[in-house]
Amino acid sequence: MWPLFALLLGLAVGSFLNVVVHRLPRGESVAYPPSRCPQCGHRLGPWDLVPVLSYLALKGRCRYCARPISPRYPLVEALTGGLFLLASLFYPPGVEALLVFLFLAFLVALAFIDVDTFELPDPLTYGLLFLGLLASWALAFPLPFRESLDGSLMAAGGLALVAGYGNLFLRRFREARAEVPVGPHQVHMAALFGALLGPGVGMALAFLAWALSARTGRPVVLPDRLTLPLLPLAFLLAPALGLDFLESLKGSLLAAGGLALAGGLYWAFRPLPEEEEEPVAMGYGDVKLLGALGAWLGPYAFLALFLGVFAGALLGLLLRQSKLAFGPYLGLGGVVAFALLAFSLHHFAEGALLCYEAFMGRAVKVALAVLALGLSAFALYLWASPYLFLRALQGAVLEGDRARLERLVDFPRVREGLKAQVQARLLRQMGQEVAQNPLAGLAYLFVAGMVDPMVDALVSPEGLAALGTGLGPGEAPKEAVKGWRLAYQDFRTAYVYRPEDPSSRLYLERQGLFGWKVVRMELPLE
């Protein structure tokens, strides 16, 4: 009964997490108003909110406006339910199980928000951090408080330094703008002095620089071009000051992590002003998330970081993406590391017994079946995502919904590509005819001036509806889009066509894992 209860609880929590993922980045309340369709705004009834089943019963469409519902909703619900079910196999009913459920729920919400916005909200990262520290202080779960605190600071400090070196290389050793009163510069200072003088002195000096910056209104810091290159040298000089290498490294990470988390908390209550962003290798949202994982995992947080970097790099290379949401991969690494923590030296006997009992019972078969089903659903959704996109595109054209088309079609890119095709065709014809008649070039100057209006007419709902029909924009009925077909070109690209005219195509490009966008139109202009 306990695994079944955990599964149902996870499905219900997953339904609530969908609300959090949608509303929290927009600054909206997660409690009021009641759930509504994000497209038509109609309030959803109880039968519309049954996790997973409502989506299947409604065939993925809103009951009131018949517009497609994002498959992300049942995905979040099923994922949360599956994670809760797996956790219930290793944690019996009690406070510890509840804490593990909260840990997993926070990670799911952070992962999907990061996918949508490339941001990790401070209420969730710091909420996860303080919950982990509170659990360790009150219950010594999952770690004693000292291990939890050190793990949090060292994990945050380690990733903050990785971000610092990455940003320095990205800017080709140009100095970044120093934030007032506190920013990465103070973090790097704390790391340097913490390596030489201990974490307490390192943080004290960095806090002093913070206070002076706030007092004067100007940055009182050492430049990154000085602190970051000197930090490796400080580790080498530590033995001369009576410290061994590991003590120096720990002091540096603790000091950097303390400043990073304290500075992040400061800016959470006093947001940064809107200014032009500098190129960064990694945002501080990931630093705070890893610090939160450190509160739950201790040194295992670095294992989560390694797994996250490995998975992120592998998928980034596969998708050939320059910008990647790192939060989901850190979350995945955190789940794996937390599972391994249960089998660490502290919990080996208990974990081994629970594992044996689980694998001997029917519950594990259910868990493995759910896991296999979840992975299959993920792979199916990954493959089917362009077909779902095609359905949404057809619906937008049929309804003449220009605002929706703006989200589905990269109109500037499509317009420029089509304009280049038309101009290239005109130039080829002009070259042939001018050779026979020099005065023909004057006619083509007039025709070239009509390219822009022609392209604008093609790149419109009416122009899209006419794709492959042989008719002009506005001449073809919008129902012609129902004859569109889709074919994969490779993992990242696909194209839409009509069987009657396969040479007329709309090319789609994958955006992230599941998103797609129309980026090019090809027409037979011969």
* pLDDT, mean of residues 256-260: 94
Going 261 to 197 to 213 to 170, the CA torsion angle's sign is: negative
Is residue 162 predicted with pLDDT exceeding 70?
Answer: yes
* pLDDT, mean of residues 275-283: 56
Neighbours of 252 (CB within 10 A): 28
Distance CA 445, CA 343 (A): 76
pLDDT of residue 446: 45
pLDDT of residue 280: 57
Is residue 148 predicted with pLDDT exceeding 70?
Answer: yes
pLDDT of residue 435: 47
Q: Which residue has the higher pLDDT, 174 or 209?
A: 209
Query: Is 522 in contact with 421 (CB distance < 8 Å)?
Result: yes
pLDDT of residue 295: 95
Nearest partner of 132 among 112, 120, 147, 113, judged by Cα:
147
Is residue 146 predicted with pLDDT exceeding 80?
Answer: yes
Query: For residue 513, what are its two tokens?
Result: 């894992």
- State what percent of residues in the chain have pLDDT above 70: 80
| Distance (Å) of CA 319 to CA 58, 217, 309, 496 | 32, 44, 15, 21
Is residue 133 predicted with pLDDT exceeding 70?
Answer: yes
The region of weakest confidence among 11-15, 42-46, 413-417 is: 413-417
- pLDDT bin (cut points 50, 70, 90) of residue 14 is very high
Q: For residue 511, what are the β-bridge partners?
A: 515
Query: Is 84 in contact with 51 (CB distance < 8 Å)?
Result: no
Q: For residue 68, what are the β-bridge partners?
A: 61
- pLDDT bin (cut points 50, 70, 90) of residue 392 is confident
Query: Is 465 in contact with 402 (CB distance < 8 Å)?
Result: no
pTM of the model: 0.70
pLDDT of residue 360: 45
Which residues are CB-contacts of 483 (< 8 A; sequence separation ≥ 6)? 468, 498, 499, 500
pLDDT of residue 345: 42
Of 40-44, 202-206, 407-411, which has the strongest mean pLDDT?
A: 202-206
* pLDDT, mean of residues 328-345: 80
Which residues are CB-contacts of 413 (< 8 A; sequence separation ≥ 6)? 519, 520
DSSP state of 3: H
Nearest partner of 260 among 164, 328, 128, 175, judged by Cα:
164
pLDDT of residue 514: 74
The tokens 């140009």 sit on which residue? 174
- pLDDT bin (cut points 50, 70, 90) of residue 501 is confident
Distance CA 512, CA 51 (A): 25
- pLDDT bin (cut points 50, 70, 90) of residue 261 is very high
The tokens 């619906």 sit on which residue? 395
- pLDDT bin (cut points 50, 70, 90) of residue 111 is very high
Tens digit of each residue's pLDDT (9 = 90 or more) over 288-312: 999 999 999 988 899 888 888 877 7
pLDDT of residue 348: 43
The region of weakest confidence among 352-366, 375-389, 397-411 is: 352-366
Nearest partner of 75 among 89, 55, 58, 59, judged by Cα:
55
* pLDDT, mean of residues 411-419: 79
Query: Is 184 in contact with 226 (CB distance < 8 Å)?
Result: no
- pLDDT bin (cut points 50, 70, 90) of residue 325 is confident
pLDDT of residue 101: 95
| pLDDT, mean over the chain | 81
- pLDDT bin (cut points 50, 70, 90) of residue 121 is very high
Of 247-261, 424-438, 479-493, which has the strongest mean pLDDT?
A: 247-261
pLDDT of residue 244: 82
- pLDDT bin (cut points 50, 70, 90) of residue 400 is confident
pLDDT of residue 445: 45
Is residue 254 predicted with pLDDT exceeding 90?
Answer: yes
pLDDT of residue 462: 75
Tens digit of each residue's pLDDT (9 = 90 or more) over 425-473: 666 655 555 445 554 444 444 444 555 666 666 667 777 777 777 777 7
pLDDT of residue 428: 63
The region of weakest confidence among 239-253, 278-292, 435-449, 508-522 is: 435-449
pLDDT of residue 292: 95
Query: Is 202 in contact with 251 (CB distance < 8 Å)?
Result: yes
Tens digit of each residue's pLDDT (9 = 90 or more) over 37-92: 887 888 888 888 888 888 888 888 888 888 888 888 989 999 999 999 888 888 88
Is residue 475 predicted with pLDDT exceeding 80?
Answer: no
Residue 215, classed as helix, strand or coil, is helix
